[in-house]
Chains A and B, each alone.
Chain A
Amino acid sequence: MRVLKLSKKDEKKLYDVLNKFGEVWAPVPKGSRYVYDKIEKKEDLVSYNEFVRTILPIKKFLMPQDFNILNLSPSKFETPKVDIPTRVIVGVPPCEIHALNILDKFYTTDFVDNYYMERREKVIIIGKSSLPDEYLFSHKTNTSIVEEGYDLFFIDLGDYYLVWVGSEKGDDIVRLGSDIFSEDVPVDVAHDFVAYREKRRKAFTKHIDLEGVTDLMELMYDADFWDEFGEKCLSCGQCTMVCPTCTCFNVIDELELNKDEGHRRRYWDSCMFKDYSLVAGQHNFRESRAERLKLWYTHKLKAFIGHFGSPSCVGCGRCIITCPVEINVETVVEKLKG
């Protein structure tokens, strides 16, 4: 793999290089949190020192919250032609790149989802490592270090960044930006790198031990704590919306007022919603909130292993921050390990 150097004094020039490949998107502050937003001016592309956790993960670029999948008319159903802009997403943390790898596998297994792929091909990922905050626990989900899934990846080593080139597109970017990306990477850089890795490893403070939870999910399926969580759960679905690996959607048809045309919309759904498992004849397979919570955690911590070999929690900490009643991977694992 190619590794280059980007000096911090050249950092401001990065925007112009990236902007040649597409719209530049990066985390920007919103209240006390961050959101991925379009960066219009190079001054606005800021590299944050702290760990940046956007409210919504990058799945919003690949499977929008709500979009039109079909144009409908009484005699024809047609896939709409949409012009999806290429987006260069800057500052994506390793755990989110792991989530992206999971989404790639998910959307290309069995059937390849064309709506996902159209968008996936238009996304360029510029990852960035940073020191963890008090909620990040990706070291416990084996997602704190990335080996693939990015186009470029930045590691901040003080005066400069080490830049890993992870794809052909990434290679195109560093070639076009050859005046700021330096091939001169002396061997002693390795010391800085190892020191950084060590510092980062030690900086994790949230230790959620996921070992053995697959079996515990099985053994504790009928435990009382699920009902206690069920009592508290508001079925608001925020946990699923902010989870970088939640993919469920619903589909609905809507007609224009003239009734001669309409659209089929696909929008984010949540297994926390009561009507999620409703079938014909009003039978509901998961009537209670406890049953729906169990489904989510079974899927995250157990079922995904059967499908893809690893759990689908990437340790981003969003559910811990987001759930208003403290039902999250941390509190559930606490109960499982009781």
Chain B
Amino acid sequence: MKYEYKKEPELYTPIMMRIISKRDLTPDVRFFQTVPKEEFKHLDLDYKPGQFMMLSLYGSGEAPFSISSSPTRKGIFEFAIRKTGKITNKIFELKDGDQLGLRGPFGNGFPIEKMLGKDIVIVAGGLGAAPLRSLLLYILDNRELFGRLIYLYGAKNPQEMLYRPDFFEMLESDQLELHLTVDKGNEGFEDKIEEGMVTHLFKYVNDIDPKNTIACVCGPPVMYKFVVNEILKYNLEKHNILVNLERRMKCGTGKCGHCIIDYRYTCIDGPVFTYWDVIHMRELI
């Protein structure tokens, strides 16, 4: 065997985490805060916004989830999880103090170095606000390292809007230009939430310097084409438009094959891709 290699016995062995709190974000999305069971273990788990982790639940199995917390707030790992299948149904039965396994982080995450000093436009749709929260908090916690911060968020209705109280609070902030919309049913929130698709919020995005702006998009598959088309109107270069894709990984390490799209592994080459990376991919959506 001619390859020199470092043994990584922990690669597939999750560490144990404890749930310290949870709350419902929407009728079927729950927010979990977890900490490692073992003290100081969080120091082994540094991560970047946009990365994901493999979550294990004893008796149910393992599935990938994007990290919703920011590495700037160390020690606590947060996930926004939608109840949608066998494993997530079981995760919803968990109580405070219950344990689950965690391994990772995996994936490339957002290219923070490339984003420093730039104006950032974030476009979130539905559950896309979960991974983008990591980036949003990261930028807010390092506000002086970035230029303008524009955040557009669209959901089906106000009840489906993740972190709604947090966003309402941020509407008052001068740290970012935040605009919220729902497909329909903004009654009672007219002063905070607009009605219409997320693309409709681009009317607030003005005076963009295309050479100095990076756009980050995450949402349901159907959203990408429409949002990217809007962004292209501002003459952003294709490699400065970042999309966060999701697939069902079984390993996180580029081996099991399940997350392959055309010739790229979502878990290694992604989940954050530039629009230029994926523009020719046929199986994107």
Contacts and interface: CB of A to CB of B under 8 A. Distances in A.
Interface of A: 69-70, 72-79, 104, 106-115, 117, 120-121, 148, 167, 221, 247-253, 255, 259, 262, 264, 269, 271, 276-282, 285-286, 291, 295, 298-299, 302-304, 306-307
A251 B251 contact: yes
Interface of B: 1-3, 5-9, 11-14, 16, 56, 58-63, 82, 84-85, 88, 99, 101, 246-248, 250-251, 253-258, 260-263, 268, 282-283
B268 A112 contact: no
Contact of A251 (B11, B16, B254, B256): B256
Contact of A281 (B9, B85, B101, B256): B85
Question: 6 closest A-B pairs (Cβ-Cβ)?
Answer: A303-B263, A248-B257, A111-B253, A279-B248, A253-B61, A112-B5
B99 A77 contact: no
A280 B87 CA distance: 10
Nearest to B60: A253
10 contacts: A106-B255, A112-B7, A250-B258, A253-B56, A264-B61, A269-B256, A276-B258, A280-B85, A280-B248, A298-B262
B246 A279 contact: yes
Given A253-B61, A271-B257, A75 B82 contact: no
A286 B262 CA distance: 12
Contacts of B8: 111-112, 114
Contact of A299 (B14, B247, B263): B263
Contacts of B88: 280
B contact face: mostly helix, strand, loop, or mixed: loop
Contact of B254 (A110, A253, A291, A302): A110
Contacts, number: 129
A74 B58 contact: yes
Nearest to B59: A255
Contact of A114 (B1, B12, B262): B12
A303 to B, nearest CB: 3
B279 to A, nearest CB: 14
Nearest to A115: B12
A264 B262 CA distance: 29
A211 B115 CA distance: 42
A291 B283 CA distance: 9
B58 A307 contact: no
A285 B253 contact: no
A285 B245 CA distance: 13
A2 B43 CA distance: 50
Nearest to A303: B263
**Interface core residue of B85, B247, B263 (most chain A CB under 10 Å):** B263
